[in-house]
Chains A and B, each alone.
Chain A
Amino acid sequence: MKWDNIKLITSFTFSDNIRMKRTFALVVLFVILFVASMRLATLTVLRRMPGLPKALIRISPQRLFLNNLLSNLALLLPFIGVMFGYDAISGEKERGTLRMILTQPIYRDEFLIGKFLGALSTIAFVILVSQVIAMGVSMAIYGIGMSMDLLWKLILFMLFSILYSISWYAIALLISVISNRTSYSALISIAIALSIIIIAPILVSVYVTMVNPPPIFTGSESPSTRQNAIRKWLMETQRLRSSLMSFSPDFQFQRLLRGLIGISNDLSFQALLSETANVLLGSTLSLTYLVLMALIPLIASFMIFVKQELK
Chain B
Amino acid sequence: MPDLVIETYELTKVFQGIGQRIVAVNEVSIKVPSGVVFGLLGPNGAGKSTLLSMLIGLTLPTKGGGKVLGYDIVKESLEIRKRVGILPERIGFYEHLTPVRNLTLIGKLNGLSGKELEDRIKHVLRMVGLSEHMHKNVGAFSRGMRQRLGLACALLKDPDLLLLDEPTAGIDPEGVKVFRGLVRDLSREGRTIVISTHLLRELGPLCTHIAIMKEGRILVQGAVKEIFEDFLLKRGFTYDISLSEVADQGIVEEIKELGNVVDVQLKGRDLIVRSKVDLGDELYDMLTKRGYRLRKFTMRKPTLEDVFLYYSRGEGTNEVG
Instruction: Give A residues with C-beta under 8 Å from B.
Output: 5, 8, 12, 16, 19, 95-107, 309-311
Contact = CB atoms under 8 A, between A and B. Distances in A.
Report, nearest first, the 9 A-B pairs whose CB atoms are least far apart: A96-B92, A95-B92, A103-B86, A104-B109, A105-B82, A99-B88, A105-B81, A97-B92, A96-B90
Contacts of B91: 96, 99-100
Nearest to A311: B50
Interface residues of B, number: 29
B94 interface: yes
A8 B49 contact: no
Contacts of A104: 81, 106, 109-110
Nearest to A19: B96
Contacts of A96: 88, 90-93
Contact of A95 (B78, B79, B95): B95
A311 B109 contact: no
A103 B81 contact: yes
Interface of B: 15, 49-50, 53, 56, 58-59, 78-79, 81-82, 86, 88-96, 105-106, 108-111, 150, 153
Contacts of B111: 105
Nearest to A98: B92
Given A104-B106, A105-B109, A97 B93 contact: yes
A107 B53 CA distance: 15
Query: Of residues A16, A101, A102, which shows the largest number of chain B Cβ atoms within 10 Å of its Cβ?
Result: A102
Nearest to B163: A103
B92 A99 contact: yes
A100 B93 contact: yes
Contacts of A311: 15, 49-50, 53, 59
B110 A309 contact: no
Contacts of A97: 92-94
Contacts of B96: 19
A8 B101 CA distance: 13
Given A102-B58, A107-B78, 9 more contacts: A16-B94, A95-B92, A96-B91, A97-B92, A98-B92, A100-B153, A104-B110, A105-B82, A105-B111
Contacts of A98: 92
Contacts of A5: 109
B224 to A, nearest CB: 27
Contacts of B110: 104-105
A310 B15 CA distance: 11
